[in-house]
Amino acid sequence: MLFDRDGTLIQDVPYNGDPARVRLMPHARAAVEAVREWGVPVGVVSNQSGVARGLLTLGAVEAVRRRVEELLGPFDIWAVCPHGPADRCGCRKPAPGLIHAACAALGTDPRRAVVLGDIGADLAAARAAGARGVLVPNAVTRPEEIADAARTAPDLLTAVRGLPAGAGDAP
């Protein structure tokens, strides 16, 4: 099970490199705990273009990662893209690179993965990788992204509960 970071697990604070500003999204803890109870590995896939833009350092991204793990426990993998949109890399969502990297590190086929995110790029990356995606809209999710999503949920816990037990590890 792969979670987007900003706007999905934690509140989206643009280019946040300050661990003190990390606030969990509603039901994030319960959703992550439910997946762990299934025995399914959990990971985070996150674009962090603030690094390429000179607004963040990799150390600041790491500090936020540590804070998220203080609040939610350790994740099995963190796959982070530090590139900007102009870099045209293969890891920046909506490209599938982060999903592929996370699945490779977890030793699983992307077709067995579920990606939970709050914007269309999260679901596009899931589709491009062959994974399943669930959109958990928030205030920044565009109406057309909601309309285009094959599967949506009003919050993270509902998204997780709507999947079959062990969905992130199902063939």
Q: Please write the tens of the pLDDT for every residue from 88-110.
A: 999 999 999 999 999 999 999 99
Q: Does the annotation mark 4 as catalytic?
A: yes
Q: Please write the tens of the pLDDT for every residue from 76-91.
A: 999 999 999 999 999 9
- Model pLDDT, residue 144: 97
Q: Which of 103, 151, 154, 152 is nearest to 130 (CA)?
A: 103
Which among 6, 109, 155, 169 is annotated as catalytic? 6
At what angle are helices 120-129 and 97-106 packed, to 10 degrees? 60
74-167-121-89 Cα dihedral, nearest 10 degrees: 70
Which band of pLDDT confidence, cut at 50, 70 and 90, is reported for residue 167? low
Q: Does the annotation mark 12 as catalytic?
A: no
Which among 4, 76, 87, 118 is annotated as catalytic? 4
